[in-house]
Structures are given as structure tokens and as C-alpha cells.
Structure 1
Amino acid sequence: MSRLATARELLPGRADYDLRPPILRADLLAGVTVGVVALPLALAFGISSGAGAAAGLITAVVAGIVAAVFGGSPVQVSGPTGAMAVVLAPIVAVHGMSSVALVSILGGVVVLAAGAARLGRLVGYLPWPVVEGFTLGIACIIFLQQIPAAVGTTAPPGRNPLLGAGSALANAGSAAGWTVATVAVVAVIMLALPKLHRGIPASLVAVVLATVGAEVTHAPVPRIGTLPSSLVPTLPHFDLGVVRDLAGAVVAVAALAAIESLLSARVAATMTRGGPPVEPTRPDRELIGQGLASIASGLFGGMPATGAIARTAVNVRSGARTRLASISHALVILAVIYAATGLVSRIPLAALAGVLLITSLRMVPLATIREVVRASRSSTVTFAVTALVTVAADLILAVEIGLLVAAFFALRHLARAARARRDTLPGPAADGDEHIAIFRFEGAMFWGASERVVTEIAAAADDVLVVILRFSRLHLLDATGAKALGETIGELEARGVMVLLKGIQDHHQHLLTTTGVLRTGSHLFTHLDDAVAHARAHVQRASAQAR
């Protein structure tokens, strides 16, 4: 494929849209549905991150449009998410709200560069238990972060969510009754309405009713407050010293934006299978789109954006077919900014806390947890460790440790599967066959298993004159395994044992040659019958000489 064709794959085009009336109608309807669902979430995640409700709305609009136009998924919905709010909260606590726009722009540049470098497919290497453990950890953090707002207090900035929730519960004041009641109303409505009709936007209805109730009763509960009535680009102040201080935060934001967006796009692709055909997801273009979305969001005073799994799922289930649905969802929220900021500013913070509490409970279904736990003990440990580290420490660290744990179990399984099985000689038995040993390598000969495998060969090769090593089923061989194999062959030959090598695969030839296993005088065979015939002839000659 030419460079020009490759570049075109990463850019938007006319083929991204289908304006036929049935599809256009479906996209617009899906966009309105997702916009209604996304509005309270955008407000809630903005507040939860510490950047403010306005930042959540701006991100939903600006990033939602830019990611829809330039991204690689036709049905992905992007905007503020709970995971990004979790990452941003300590950054805001340490560096202030002014850092959010700068982190958004710089993080977007990193994600954009990753897309241009064609790194989008790497997300496929993340193990399933790590992804689910990460998601569970995020859900727990989102839940814990809402406890202070749910009881009418504030948690100390930068404190661990679990400790902050405990402190908030201990310090709840007399006004806690009003906020707890507001949260309870929202929770009941969100849980009950979907049972009556799945098409009702439960979160929006819950927030509206809670707001009306707070206004009618004059409840003393904190409100959202002033919101922007327009979108105006504002370039943040760039200071090299501040940029250096934020380097770690930028990497964390970029990593999360890339991982969450690609995972969301992958989930969306699986949801569209079996239905009407849609444009395939392009992971590299998705990174470019998300990078541009975060840059644009930062320029307008928003926060870093990612693909939102929950809103994307609503989009797909609502019948979305092209990017127009995601664009429409952003325009719905834009209409609220220009026409209803006064009403939105009166929403109680406790109502949004209730929305996020129920949202967090729905992020990881119990069925998924059961599937992970039943899969294997290693998947259970990987899942639990990733979730615990996510809650207790850091999101990116949790993914890294989860990968290490998964790699440990994978290598242990690979090492246990590696063996040199002793075979019987083919065909009718012949005199002297007891002096011939055949070993068939299976699995992998690598640093985690080579010492055990070659020790078994050396121990089982006593009282034999010929050892035949079969390589045809050896799938993996590294330098350590090749070196150990060469040393074992040397020891056997030093004891007067002839070593015959059968079925060496082409991709192992170079490594076996460079490590000295294959050298001038090596006995190489393609067929086992030829190797056995050679071994029997050698045994007969040795027996004749002994007589």
C-alpha cells in the first residue's frame, strides 16, 4: 500500500456518511437519545474531575464533534468519562484547574503522535482480566468519589478516594439528610424507570425531578452554579517549568485516553456485528481523532476526552449507523449551553452524585465478574490485583501491574507445557533398540523452562548409545533454550552418546547455528525413519566392536 493511500485511511472523507433518508433519520434519533443521556453525565464527570461542570459540557460538545469527524469508529461517542475524571482529580488538586486545559492539549498531542505512528493495534494485546479489573477499579473509585457530595460534605483534595469517602461519612453534618434524600430519589428513579420502559432516559428524568423537588422545597443543597453561555477558544499559558511538572500527568492522561478509547471502539465493533453493515473501526485513525479532540477541548477550556463505553453502547442500541449520530449528540448539548444554562445551574450536586453512583454500579455487570472468576485461577488473580491497584494507587500503574501479573501466569503456563516427551521407536522392534532414546520436544524451549527440560533429557539418557531429538513440534525457542540444548548435546557426546537431530524448523535454524547447536558434523534428518535407521546401524556397529 502506498504512503498516499495509507494517509487517506487516517483522514475523514465523504464515505464516512450515508445521507439516505432512513439512515439519516436513524442517526439523528440516536444522536438526540445519546445527547439526553450524556448531558447529566457530562456535568457529573466535569464536577467529579475538579475541573467543573462547564468543563464537562465543553468537552462533550467540542471533543464529541471533533472525535466523531476525525475518529476511526463510526459509532463511537466521545467526551468526559469517569476514568478520566479519576485521573484528573489529583492533577487538579496539585496543580489547580488551570492545568486541565494544558494537560488536555499536551495529552492530545501524545495521542495524536501515537496514531500517526500506527500504534492503535497495540490495545489488542491487553488481556481481558486486566481490562475488566481496570474497569471495576474505575467503577469503585467513581462510587467512592460521590460519597462526599451524597452526604453534603467535601473530601480533602488529592486524598485516596476510600479515605476521602470515610472522612466524608464521619464529618456529615445536619444538612446530610437533604442530600441523602436527593441521592435516594435519583437512585430509585434510575433503577425503576428502565423496568417500565427501556427507551426512557432515566438519568435525565431523575435529575429533572430531583431539581424540581429541590426548588419546590427550597432544600438547602449545593447547586452546580454558573455555567458558560457560549464557547470561546482560549489558549492556555505555556510555561516550560509547568510543562515539566505536568509531564507525568500528561503521559497518564494520554495513556488512559488511548486505552479507553480503543477499548470502547472495540466494544462498539462487537456490538454492531450481526446487524446492518457499518464502516469498520480503524484504530490508528481513532487515536488521531481522540488526540485532535483533546487538543480542541483544551483550547476551549475543556478536559481530555476519551471514547465513552456507556454512551457508545446507547448510541449503537439506538440505531446509529454513521458519525452523524455522534455529531448530533454534541449539538444537543450545545443547544443546552446556549439556551438553558440558567436551568442547568440549579441542578443539585447530590442529584449528579446519584447519577454517578448508579452509573458506577452498572459499569461492571456481575455476570462479567463471574465469567472472569470461573475462567481460571490466574484470570481471577489478575483481575483482582488490577482492580485493587486501581483503587489503592494509580490507574496507569494498575494496568502495568496487571500486565505483569498476566505475563507471569502466561509464562508459568508456557513453562509447564514445555516438555521433552520420550517416544517409542516406530515399526517392529529390533535388537539394540533399548540403547536408543527418542525425545520429542513440545511447546517452548525458553528461559523459563529450558533448564528443567534438558535436565530431564540428560537424566533419561543413561545407558543409551543414541539420542534422537525431534524438533517438529517445538513452537518457541529462545537463545537461553538453544544454549542449554547445545550444552546438553555436548555433555551427551562427551559421554559417547551420538545425538541425531530431526525435523528442525526453518525459523529455528539461524538461532541453533549461532548458539553452536548446529555445527559441522551434526546429524540432521528430515524423516524419523531415516534417523531411526541411522541410530540402529550405529548401535549394531558399536555392539560388533564390543564383541
Structure 2
Amino acid sequence: MSARSLTPKLLSVWREGYSFATFRADALAGLTVAIVALPLAMALGIASGASPDRGLVTAVVAGFLISALGGSRVQIGGPTGAFVVVVFNVIAAHGYDGLLIATLLAGLILIAAGALGLGQMIKYVPHPVVTGFTAGIAVIIASSQVKDFLGLSVAEVPADFLARWRTLLEALDTFDPVTLAVGIAALTIIVGLRRLAPRFPAFLIAIVATSAAVAHFRLPVDTVGTSFPGITAGLPVPSIPDLSLMRISALLPSAFTIAFLAGIEALLSAVVADGMAGTRHRPNQELVGQGVANLGSALFGGLPATGAIARTATNIRSGARTPVAGIVHAMAILSFILFAGHLMSFVPMASLAAVLFIVAWGMSEHRRFLLLLRMPNSDRAVLLLTFILTISVDLTVAIAVGVTLASLLFMARMAEAVEVGRGMPTESGRDAEDIDQRDDLPPGVEVFRIAGPFFFGVAGELLDTLRRLGEAPRVIILRMRLVPLLDASGAQAIADFVDQASAAGAYVILSGVQSQPAAILARMRLGEGASRLFYASDYKSAQALGIELAEIAEI
């Protein structure tokens, strides 16, 4: 791994030269994104079980650090919907101080992952798993906002999904028409502006308009001020939460979940940004930047943070060219906190619920979800299982089960693609010499061919092929030119094959072994001191050697 892969993009920008024209473009883009991010940060702070000011602090601290130290030119970081479920559960189980510890640990995990070069590993997480848990999170976010949108009189909404809906349905007759009208008004403004004037900041306009209406007409609805009376303007003083070995061990699973979500969403966002802006991000440095950002957010009492796809896309469409745009976005939100933070108290909770309904709809990726339902049964099973477990059990369990099931199904498909046999015709697309590979061999010389990666899922096929022969031949040629990959189980199967053939008095020739399988076989010391095992560089050499060994065996 080169030093360049761990160089922040901001440093590369300064080295290239930074002009006033570029700064002007970045500043305009940053201000535009700040207008979009401001209501989102507040809404996500509330949805996470915290408060709106926690979301704003995260947008400032983490947003600044992700842009300053990340590996993307145009990434915008902050709180996102992906964290809502896990953050809510951590706060419910361990308190807000526990969330800060988990976020600190997640930051350290991300830094270590980037330093170890694991930035490329994220691409191995299957799309059905990602789509399944993001759709599940979207459903949970939407259901968590029903109470505030309808103004229901519910003392406490259960965290469990089914119990939550049972409580909400039982309390439907307590809905408040005024609160519902404010929520519908906010929702209508957002949807209408997105269709008729997509360049306008729909979230902010909806929040400002409904807040002004509630304040002017003194409407009796819940607002941020009545729901969170202790909010103060400004940034909190940084502090380290109370750490202990017991708390760290209890919160480590949550920390890994936060790190996983932060890593996968940040790198997915960076890939989308590359496609839109024609840039190329540095995945390992992006993980390091995300890690430092989560450390910083936790020290200032903020939430977990990652790259936000929608805000990053807005940044690019607004003309951003460098990470300076993200820094300007963070500074603009900080200015609001310092000089206009008291205005938060006038925002209706129903309006923020409307914002989160739109966020949840965007997260659901309903088109991709429906598209994956048309895929083979294995992909559908992974998608639906991850989705259902996210809603009904736990996000950590959903991801673990989804990835495990997807991996097992993939290995099963790979095992089906591997061929072990005595003859493979050209219709299989393998090789023209397969038709007559046995023509020049004398009686007593058998030839087998393995085509595909030879791993534990198919290792038993080789011994089964030998058993089906009945009486062992004098010489067995095992062609391995089409084996690109060999694992320990496959190597052991070959060793067992050689042992059984040798016990029956047969010679074994391994033909055309590629470099990776050859290295694995060498580590197993297969061939050292074995008088009946030989290697041949290609099939012609193996044929000549096989004929010679067959003659020796007859003597």
C-alpha cells in the first residue's frame, strides 16, 4: 500500500494549486449543501433518540473532518439515516454516554481498517444485503415518526417494531387534527417543490414556512422547544466519556456495527460521487477520515457520522470542485448554531417528521428492492431475510446473517460451476483439446481435469471420481491448468487423492499447475519424498511422462 493511498484529498488539492475561482465555486456549493443539511441534521438527531442539537454538532464536527481528512474530493459527511436504528438501540440500552463510547471505538476501528488497507473489502458486501438492511431501516425510521406526524397521545412508544405498531394503532383515536395539518402542509411543500422547483431547498422552506405559521397563529402543536426544553446554542466543550473495560467490552459489538455502516455508506457515497464528478477517491484514506470524524464527533457529544449520498450529490450538482466545499458547509451550519440556534425551538415536530418520511422513502430504494425480487431465489432469500431481520430483530443480526447466507449461497453456486471429470467436450467452452485428450494415451493411463477454483465446497468431488473408477489405473494425469485458485481443503483433497492412488499402486502426474495452486501445494510439501507423484509443465509433457511411467509399471 502506497503513501499516496493514505493522503487526504485536501492536501492533494493544495499541491495542485487552488484559485479564487475554485474557492468561489466551492463556497457556493457548500452554502447550498448547508441549507439542505441543516433540517436533515436536526431531524436525524431526533429520530436517533437524541436531540436536534446533537445532529447539528455532528454535521459541524464530523462534516469538517470528513472533508478535511477524507479521500474524496466532494464527499459531504454528517449524520445519516443508516445509523438511526443502531443509535436508538444503543442509547436505550446503554445511555447517551454509552453511544459516545461506541462511536469512539468505531472511529478507532475505521482508522485501523484504513491503515490496514481494507478500503477495497467493502465491495464484497452483496447488494441484496445492503438493499435489505437500508430498506428495513427506512421502514423503522418512517414508523418512528408516526406519533409526531399525527400528534398521538402516547406516553412512550416501544422500541420493538410490532409492539410499536400495536401501540400506535391503539392510540389512533387520539390524533390531533392541527398537528396532522402542519405535518401534511410540510409534506406537501417538500413534494411539491421537488417536482415543480427541484433547485429550491425544499426541506428548509417547509421547515421555515410551517414554523412561521405555528408561531404566528400560536398553534397548539409540539415543537422542538416544548419537546427538548434544555437545548442551548453553541458547540459543547469537548470531553472524553467515562471509559472502563467492562463498558468497552459491552459496547464493542455496537461499535463494529457503527464502523461497518459508516464504512460501507461512505465508500458507496464516494463511488457515486466519482461517477457524477469524474473523480477517483482513495478508499483507505476515506476510512481514516471517517474514523477521525467519528472520534471528533464523540468528543463533542455528537452522533456517529458517515458520507451522505444525497448531500454529496447536491454538493456536486451545486458546482463543488474540492473538499473546501464540505468545510464551508460545516462552517455555515456552525454559524447557524452560534447566531441563530434559538430559532430551533420554533420548529414543529410534525414538520421534522415529514422531512424524515421523505428521507425514509429515499433510503428505501424501492425500485432496486423490486428489481432484486425478480432475481434468482438465492438473491431474493438474502434480500428478504436481511430486510425482515432488520425490522423484527436487530440490525447487527440482520447484517451478520445476510452476509453469511449470501456467502454460503455464492459458494454453492461456485461449487456447481467447478467441473471434475474424465472428459469435457468443447461445447462447455473449455478447450478444443478436450475431445481427443485421451486418444494418445495407452491402456492403463487415465486423465482427469479440474476446471474452476478448487476449494472446500468441491474438494470431495475428486475422491468420488477416483472411487467411481473401480480398479485404479497404473498412471493418473490430473490436469490443473484451469484451476486459478486452490485453498487448504482443495489441497488436502489432492493430497488424499495422491495417497489413495499411490496405495493402489498408481503414479499421479499433476499437469499445468498455476502459480497460486503450486504455492499452496508446496506449502503442504506435496511431492517431497513422494516417489509416485510427479509434476508436468503442460499436458504434452504429462502425456510423454505418463507413457513412460506406464511402461515402467508393466515391468
TM-score w.r.t. length of structure 2: 0.87
Asked if the contact 2:453–2:484 (Cα under 8 Å) also holds between the matched residues in 1, the reply is yes
State the secondary structure of the residue aligned to 1:220.
coil
CA distance in structure 1 between the partners assigned to 2:391 and 2:189 by the alignment: 28
The one-letter amino acid paired with 2:107 is: G
Corresponding residue of 1:470? 479
Report the CA distance between 1:44 and its aligned residue.
Answer: 0.4
Cα 1:342–1:540 change in 2 (3 A) is closer
State the secondary structure of the residue aligned to 1:238.
coil
CA distance in structure 2 between the partners assigned to 1:158 and 1:18 by the alignment: 54
Asked if the contact 1:439–1:457 (Cα under 8 Å) also holds between the matched residues in 2, the reply is no
The one-letter amino acid paired with 1:368 is: R
Cα 1:393–1:331 change in 2 (3 A) is same
C-alpha deviations, 1:491-515, integer Å up to 9, x for none? 3344454433322234333543565
Corresponding residue of 1:231? 235
CA distance in structure 1 between the partners assigned to 2:216 and 2:360 by the alignment: 29
Cα 1:201–1:420 change in 2 (3 A) is same
- 1:176-187 to 2 correspondences below 5 Å: 176-187=176-187
Corresponding residue of 2:540? 529
The one-letter amino acid paired with 2:144 is: Q
CA distance in structure 2 between the partners assigned to 1:116 and 1:511 by the alignment: 28
The one-letter amino acid paired with 2:269 is: S
Asked if the contact 1:461–1:467 (Cα under 8 Å) also holds between the matched residues in 2, the reply is no
Report the CA distance between 1:259 and its aligned residue.
Answer: 3.1
Asked if the contact 1:10–1:288 (Cα under 8 Å) also holds between the matched residues in 2, the reply is no
CA distance in structure 2 between the partners assigned to 1:295 and 1:538 by the alignment: 67
C-alpha deviations, 1:76-124, integer Å up to 9, x for none? 1111111222211122223334444444444334433443444333323
The reply on whether 1:410 has 2:414 as its aligned counterpart is no
Q: How large is the Cα RMSD of the aligned pairs?
A: 3.0
C-alpha deviations, 1:446-475, integer Å up to 9, x for none? 221111232124314658554321111112
Asked if the contact 2:462–2:497 (Cα under 8 Å) also holds between the matched residues in 1, the reply is no
Cα 1:81–1:440 change in 2 (3 A) is same
Cα 1:413–1:215 change in 2 (3 A) is same
CA distance in structure 2 between the partners assigned to 1:254 and 1:158 by the alignment: 26
CA distance in structure 2 between the partners assigned to 1:433 and 1:166 by the alignment: 77
CA distance in structure 1 between the partners assigned to 2:220 and 2:48 by the alignment: 24
Corresponding residue of 2:531? 520
The reply on whether 1:213 has 2:222 as its aligned counterpart is no
Which stretch shifts more, 509-518 or 483-492? 509-518
Which stretch shifts more, 93-102 or 141-150? 93-102
Cα 1:156–1:249 change in 2 (3 A) is farther
Which stretch shifts more, 403-412 or 335-344? 335-344
Cα 1:290–1:484 change in 2 (3 A) is closer
Asked if the contact 1:147–1:169 (Cα under 8 Å) also holds between the matched residues in 2, the reply is no
CA distance in structure 1 between the partners assigned to 2:552 and 2:95 by the alignment: 86
CA distance in structure 2 between the partners assigned to 1:541 and 1:70 by the alignment: 69
The one-letter amino acid paired with 1:453 is: L
C-alpha deviations, 1:142-166, integer Å up to 9, x for none? 1121122222245746622443233
Report the CA distance between 1:28 and its aligned residue.
Answer: 1.8
Which stretch shifts more, 401-410 or 113-122? 113-122
CA distance in structure 2 between the partners assigned to 1:66 and 1:324 by the alignment: 11
The one-letter amino acid paired with 1:269 is: D
TM-score w.r.t. length of structure 1: 0.88
Corresponding residue of 1:96? 95
Structure 1: 5+ residue runs without aligned partners? none
CA distance in structure 2 between the partners assigned to 1:88 and 1:134 by the alignment: 15
Corresponding residue of 1:341? 341
State the secondary structure of the residue aligned to 2:518.
helix
Cα 1:247–1:157 change in 2 (3 A) is farther
Corresponding residue of 2:319? 319
Cα 1:61–1:529 change in 2 (3 A) is closer
Structure 2: 5+ residue runs without aligned partners? 424-433
CA distance in structure 2 between the partners assigned to 1:373 and 1:287 by the alignment: 32
Which stretch shifts more, 45-54 or 21-30? 21-30
CA distance in structure 2 between the partners assigned to 1:235 and 1:201 by the alignment: 35
State the secondary structure of the residue aligned to 1:472.
strand
Cα 1:162–1:322 change in 2 (3 A) is farther
C-alpha deviations, 1:410-463, integer Å up to 9, x for none? 111121122223236748956x85654321111132221111232124314658
CA distance in structure 2 between the partners assigned to 1:247 and 1:429 by the alignment: 63
Asked if the contact 2:106–2:258 (Cα under 8 Å) also holds between the matched residues in 1, the reply is yes
C-alpha deviations, 1:213-245, integer Å up to 9, x for none? 333443322101154322241425525265555
Cα 1:32–1:461 change in 2 (3 A) is farther
Asked if the contact 1:436–1:464 (Cα under 8 Å) also holds between the matched residues in 2, the reply is yes
Asked if the contact 2:131–2:365 (Cα under 8 Å) also holds between the matched residues in 1, the reply is no
Cα 1:18–1:338 change in 2 (3 A) is farther
Asked if the contact 2:71–2:289 (Cα under 8 Å) also holds between the matched residues in 1, the reply is yes
CA distance in structure 1 between the partners assigned to 2:158 and 2:322 by the alignment: 40
CA distance in structure 2 between the partners assigned to 1:232 and 1:43 by the alignment: 16
C-alpha deviations, 1:512-539, integer Å up to 9, x for none? 3565652234243223234334545666
- 1:74-113 to 2 correspondences below 5 Å: 74-113=73-112
